[in-house]
A and B are shown apart, each in its own frame.
Chain A
Amino acid sequence: MSWIPNETEIVDYLYGELAPDKLKDFEEYMQQNPDFEREVQTLKQTQKLLPSLADEQVVQPKPFILESRKRSTLHGSRKWLLPLSIAASLAAIMLAGYFAQFSMTIGEDGLRVAFYNEQPIPEAAITKDEVQALIDSSVRQVSDQWQNQASQLQVSFASQLAHNKRLTETEIKRVAAMKPQAEIDEDQILNFIAQLKDENKKMIQNFYRESAEDQQAKIRHVLVEYNEYLDKQRQEDLQFIQSNMLALRSTSELKQEETDKILASIITTVNNQNSFGE
């Protein structure tokens, strides 16, 4: 036989890539040349030994690229990317919502957001009627306070009026007593009465103004408290939704990472199998 396998053909034989017609010649040549056969077999032994050096396990630093890059692209303008990514994000959210059995309903008791199986909403710590009752009670309390104050002011007002009346009577008596001694100017009396009326009028105006201001302040206080209560409820609801969304995102990322690892493993494993099978 004139044909002698060269190093390329030996490698092809070792890796199972020798063409069938050449394979027959190769094997014949090996049978006829024991030294050659021994060399090929020792190379095979070496090959068999090499996989004992296994892959090292390594932890990948993550994420590899931290900041979003901005670079020119060969694929033209990327202006369409923003709306597309928004649409894709919405689709992803909808998909995630579908898998997480996300539901949102608007009922008589307001907006309801649920993941997975909708759980009956536990009895609210405070119902609408109770809130109304609280407001009523608060307003009633304010009203009572106002009435108390009003009655106190009324008493005070009455006592003031009585005091003024006494003063007037005393003054009239004093003036009457003085009458024989001097002629009293009628105008002075009228002025005095007008002065008294003005004082009474101012006192009543002050009383009503102060009462109104006080009442307004109380009602404002109640409304602020109610607003704070609503804000707190809203914050709690938002936190609940946010924590669910974060949990969902975290689960999705975990799944994605697992998928990538599985695919990486598949690429390596199946590639190896294909390569050795060739």
Chain B
Amino acid sequence: MANDTLLDIAMNHADRLILKAQSGDDGAFNRLVSLWYKRMYNYSFKYAGSHDLAMDITQNTFIAVHQKIGQLRDVASFKSWLYRIAINCSHEEIRKQKRTSGVSLNDTIYHKDDEHLDIADDLRYQPDAGLQRQELADQIMLALQSLSEEQRIVVIMKEYEALKFREIAEALEISENTAKSRLYYGLKHLRSKLAKVIYENKMEVL
């Protein structure tokens, strides 16, 4: 079809892979994994705040997808179905982590440059120095980890995974309004956590 956009072609390609994977084609399943692996890893990493946990969650997600892909009725809802499985695997993995180390679901696991948590109280803090790109990313990561799990999932899905509100609602099995509400409070919380960063970077009002 001459009028197909690149996205149409890509989505058709992905849909065909899903159908093949459903009929037992492991090659197609492997290619489907390669299409979504980076996204699943990054979702898991931002959710769990740990590379090792993210790897485990991603692997478990695709194992579950492999086992359940035959149950997927509507190929069009694959994306939200995939994220729903990722959410469940994330819960399970964090629960395991909690059992073994006593970490709360809402506790911060992200340890990279932990001193930034108390950066405002740090006497060495220099407002004029400005944050390097990696430092800024670390700050945001820490702020994300400080969100409640419900808010964190919605913020990651909307801001980093670019899901539509309908897809977020499907993945979490909640209403769209509930998803929006969680996002609103999530953003508010992030704003308070990142207030100094916003000030530091002299961000202009859009």
Contacts and interface: CB of A to CB of B under 8 A. Distances in A.
B181 A53 contact: no
Contact of B7 (A12, A69, A71, A266): A266
B136 A271 contact: no
A9 B135 CA distance: 33
Contact of A64 (B39, B62, B71): B62
Contacts of A49: 136, 140, 194, 197-198, 201, 203
Contacts of A45: 191, 198, 203, 205-206
Nearest to A257: B34
A128 interface: no
Contacts of B98: none
Nearest to B45: A56
A68 B36 CA distance: 21
B117 interface: no
Nearest to B7: A270
B34 A73 contact: no
A54 to B, nearest CB: 7
A270 B33 contact: no
Interface stretch (B22-30, B82-90, B120-128): B22-30
B162 interface: yes
B184 A10 contact: yes
Given A48-B206, A49-B194, A52-B137, A17 B33 contact: no
Interface string B155-189: 10011101111000000000001001101110110
Contacts of A62: 30, 34
A264 B206 contact: no
B153 interface: no
B105 interface: no
A224 to B, nearest CB: 46
B133 interface: yes
A248 interface: no
Contacts of B184: 7-8, 10-11, 43
Interface string A40-52: 0111111111111
A181 B70 CA distance: 120
Nearest to A276: B162
A75 interface: yes
Contacts, number: 164
Contact of A41 (B159, B185, B206): B206
A58 B180 contact: no
A260 B26 contact: no
A68 B26 contact: yes
A74 interface: yes
B11 A11 contact: no
Contact of A264 (B34, B158, B185, B190): B34
Contacts of A53: 46, 136-137, 140-141, 144, 160
B31 interface: yes
A266 B177 contact: no
A15 to B, nearest CB: 8
A159 interface: no
A71 B70 contact: yes
A199 to B, nearest CB: 81
A78 B20 CA distance: 12
A53 B160 CA distance: 9
A62 B164 CA distance: 30
16 contacts: A8-B177, A8-B180, A15-B158, A47-B159, A49-B198, A50-B140, A53-B144, A60-B34, A62-B30, A64-B33, A65-B29, A65-B33, A72-B70, A264-B36, A264-B38, A274-B162
Please provide the 6 A-B residue pairs with the shortest distance between their CB atoms, ordered closest to farther.
Answer: A7-B184, A275-B162, A270-B7, A11-B180, A53-B140, A46-B191
Given A49-B197, A62-B34, A64-B29, 6 more contacts: A7-B180, A49-B140, A53-B46, A69-B66, A267-B11, A275-B162
